[in-house]
Structure 1
Amino acid sequence: MSSSTQRAHRTQDVLVGVDGSSASAHAIRYAKAEAVRSGGAVDVVHVVPDVAPMNGFYPVPPDELMDAGAAALDASLEQVGQVGEPDDGVPVRPHVRRGPVVATLTELGREARMIVVGSDRRPVSMRLLTGNVSTGVSARAAVPVVSVPDTWSPEQSTGVVLVGVKHPDHADALLAEAFEVARQRHSRLLVLHAWRLPIAYDDLLSGDIGTLKDWAARAERELEEVVAPWRASHPEVDVEVRAVHDQAAHALVVASEEADEVVVVRRTHGVPAATHLGSTARAVLLYARCPIRVVPAVHVPMVLDLDLETSGAALKRAGS
């Protein structure tokens, strides 16, 4: 097999990072469903840390670390019944690696179609010392990263994919990803734009239903213009455009209750390869009710913030 052929095949594969938790089992289930749709394989990876402390400050012997890592990998596979040959035809390849967890998963995922990780929804105070792998990988990966909450159930499908659009100048990458996800799943696509004046101006709109409706109608008209080419190229996808007066993260989290997946872009501060998610993305990763797909910054340059809209004028175009 030539190197180009290997690369073409590899990009259909899905890499999933696991740690033996229930969230990892959900991540594997999600990854396998994606692989069924794409025709790729699933690489299930557990990363063993380089050094682990123990009583007396002596390092854990390396062999014991690797054994514990293999046990964590097996635990994740057993939770989804994937010991041995998978029954759906998806190749599942287990791997144990050693190194910094976020950096290792990010590097291994460069040749994958996407990276999938489980999301621990315990209180933040219980995760401060261990960090959050899903947030770290989502902020750094060069490919889309899907964070699957440990409360997710594939049986509870709504048939809706949700994408949040801030600005028409930066919508193409998000819409390309979202339309493809909706097409593969035969799902309806909900394109959401949220706008809100700074809090000091709330009184200007408080109770002014007519103004709110006018702004929402304008936003929806402009959003329809952005979506129109994608509707034409994906006639099989049913699309709903919605503009709401709300804070961006709250709007996405609320809308996630009716979605199977949320598609967002990570924050870049104008730097294509930035490694910062921003407050909205972090909030969505923490509170959304369904898997969250974070599109890497390299696909959406010069987006100043993930907030769908916070400055008032709906979907402002450059120079307008």
Structure 2
Amino acid sequence: MDAGPARRRLALGARLGAGGARRTRGAGGGRLLEGPGTAAPERAAGPHASRGPAVTDQGRPRRVLLPVGGVEDHHAGVAFAAQEAVRRGCDIDVLHVAHPAGREDGSGVLDMAETVVERTVEAARRSLGRARPAVRGRLARGDVVPALVEDSRQVALVVLTRRHARGAVVLSTMTVANALGAHAHAPVAVVPPRWSPGTTTAPILVGIGGRHAESRHVLRAGLEQARRCGARAELVHGWWYSDAYDDLVLSGPTGRAETARRRARLAAELAPVLADFRDIDVRLRVEHGRPARLLLEATERAQLVVLGRHQPLLPFGSELGPLTRAVISGAACPALIVGSPAPAAGP
């Protein structure tokens, strides 16, 4: 009998500790997978386990959450998670969520999941090199998106690797990236599959929309990221009314006047936030054009694009919106989705 899977389970179990969802033996010899409600361990075994977990000012663990599926092509996400863990002073949690309907009667699905988690943990440690963040691996059972949304309450960042190449036709909007981007309690980074880190002087892009509170919230998140990276920031606002109208009416002096009006309005609205980041070189770029196209073209020369959610105008509307969905599915650089600002307290 091949003892390889058993050895892998034993080795991974040493790293998993009691966190997330631990594989154990039931009374009848069957394999059990605990649910996602179990508390995460404070330490994982391995070369980065010498210090306590990073915490926020409120005392909560600070972690970068790196969800992995049943395939091993997570290299871009691993590299980005390692980079951000160092910048933010966070540890890394590698998490695989197994669907409740999954079989455990020798099908090998969980053995494969364990292997993916184990190899991703090792890849993250290699990517970190001598850096201090710890890396842990966990398995959980549950519906994938709700489990990840719940786990995102206690993390600083969620990192996903985009599953399709840039320019691929994606018919469904019901992807894990879209669902987490819309509902996670922490910012969500979506990393293109061929992205790799490197020394760059490229800017941090910030997509600026038309809603005041949301624009200021996204701007602050983008400038905080620029400060972490030591980069300049480029704020991009595109405006477009109608395909049947803009090219004819707004392509000349009328369009230039509207662009100037919008630039002046945005400069005034964003000034209070910009005043808190005088150390950051900021450029405001306002253009007449389709916003998604402008942002996608700009990602060719950026190291990151920061986007926001929006409050839907209709009860059944999307919290991401077509612009954010288009950019996260086609950006040449990682896209960071930040949540909507908290509603103002009533009197």
| TM-score tier (shorter) | 0.7 to 0.9
Mapped to 2, the partners of 1:114 and 1:41 lie a distance apart of 11
Q: 1:17 to 1:271 in 2, by over 3 A?
A: farther
Q: Choose which of 36, 55, 58 in structure 2 pairs with 1:8.
A: 58
Mapped to 1, the partners of 2:169 and 2:105 lie a distance apart of 31
SS of 1:200's equivalent in the other structure is coil
Mapped to 2, the partners of 1:262 and 1:135 lie a distance apart of 16
Q: 1:101 to 1:199 in 2, by over 3 A?
A: same
Shift of 1:6: 7.6
Shift of 1:231: 2.7
Mapped to 2, the partners of 1:10 and 1:62 lie a distance apart of 38
Within 5 Å, give how 1:96-135 maps onto structure 2.
Answer: 96-122=139-165, 123-124=168-169, 132-135=175-178
Within 5 Å, give how 1:1-320 maps onto structure 2.
Answer: 8-10=58-60, 12-19=62-69, 21=71, 24-52=74-102, 59=103, 61=105, 64-80=108-124, 82=126, 87-122=130-165, 123-124=168-169, 132-155=175-198, 157-167=200-210, 169-170=212-213, 171-205=215-249, 207-208=251-252, 210-270=253-313, 276-297=319-340, 299=341
Give the aligned residue type for 1:91.
A
Q: 1:98 to 1:165 in 2, by over 3 A?
A: same
Mapped to 2, the partners of 1:63 and 1:22 lie a distance apart of 18
SS of 1:90's equivalent in the other structure is coil
Give the aligned residue type for 1:31.
A
Unmatched 5+ stretches in structure 1: 53-58, 303-320
Mapped to 2, the partners of 1:43 and 1:220 lie a distance apart of 42
SS of 1:8's equivalent in the other structure is coil
Q: 1:301 to 1:159 in 2, by over 3 A?
A: farther
Mapped to 2, the partners of 1:220 and 1:241 lie a distance apart of 8
The farther-off stretch of 112-121 and 74-83 is 74-83
Shift of 1:245: 0.8
Shift of 1:213: 2.3
Give the aligned residue type for 1:25.
H
Query: Is the contact made by 1:168 and 1:223 (CA closer than 8 Å) also made in structure 2?
Result: no
SS of 1:51's equivalent in the other structure is coil
Among all aligned residue pairs of Structure 1 and Structure 2, give the percentage whose two residues are the same amino acid.
Answer: 30
Shift of 1:272: 10
Unmatched 5+ stretches in structure 2: 1-41, 43-54
Give the aligned residue type for 1:49.
H
Q: 1:228 to 1:259 in 2, by over 3 A?
A: same
Shift of 1:242: 0.5
Q: Could you report, residue by residue, the CA deviation over 1:183-230 in whole angstroms, capped at 9, with x for unpaired residues?
A: 11111111111111212213433652x333222222222222223223
Q: TM-score, normalised by structure 2?
A: 0.74
Mapped to 2, the partners of 1:215 and 1:273 lie a distance apart of 32
Q: Could you report, residue by residue, the CA deviation over 1:236-256 in whole angstroms, capped at 9, with x for unpaired residues?
A: 100000001111211111111
Give the aligned residue type for 1:187.
A
Query: Is the contact made by 2:311 and 2:319 (CA closer than 8 Å) also made in structure 1?
Result: yes
Give the aligned residue type for 1:186.
G
Shift of 1:147: 0.7
Q: Which has the larger radius of gyration?
A: 2
Q: TM-score, normalised by structure 1?
A: 0.80
SS of 2:58's equivalent in the other structure is helix
Q: Could you report, residue by residue, the CA deviation over 1:126-163 in whole angstroms, capped at 9, with x for unpaired residues?
A: x86x9622122112112111111102121263431111
Query: Is the contact made by 2:62 and 2:90 (CA closer than 8 Å) also made in structure 1?
Result: yes
Q: Could you report, residue by residue, the CA deviation over 1:48-75 in whole angstroms, capped at 9, with x for unpaired residues?
A: 22224xxxxxx45277332221111123
Mapped to 1, the partners of 2:73 and 2:211 lie a distance apart of 35
SS of 1:34's equivalent in the other structure is helix
Mapped to 1, the partners of 2:260 and 2:234 lie a distance apart of 16
Question: Higher relative contact order at CA 8 Å, sep ≥6: structure 1 or structure 2?
Answer: 1
